[in-house]
Amino acid sequence: MKPITSVLRDLIKDPTLLKQRKILEEVQKTLEKANENERKLNAKCMTLQSEIAANESKIRAAIQLSEEDKNTIDTLREELEKAWKTADELRLAHSETRDEPFFK
């Protein structure tokens, strides 16, 4: 199979094939443009893949931080509940001692 450029050279020599030459020139231009667009798309895909990988790492880090924050919140909530329970017990004990007579 001859490359399209050699076919076009042969067509240039023959004036009766002007219509076919123009069609082949258009096909060649279209193919060149398609190849260039494909190269651009491949480059864009590579860029997007890199961005996706970078964002995936960021998302994983954010999820890990979120889980750590949840654990911290749960721990603080438990400590707060214990503190309120202790405060309630002390308040109750104080009110009971206040109700007792000073001298028996």
Helix, strand or coil for residue 73? helix
pLDDT of residue 1: 54
Mean per-residue pLDDT pooled into runs of 10, the chain (104 residues) = 70 77 88 97 98 97 98 98 95 79 58
Give the C-alpha separation, 80 to 86, whole Å.
Answer: 10
Amino acid residing at 49: Q
Structure-derived torsion over alpha carbons of residues 76, 80, 83, 84, reported in degrees to the nearest 10: -170
pLDDT at 18: 79
pLDDT of residue 24: 83
CA triplet 56, 39, 3: central angle to 5 degrees? 155
Matching residue, tokens 């603080």: 76
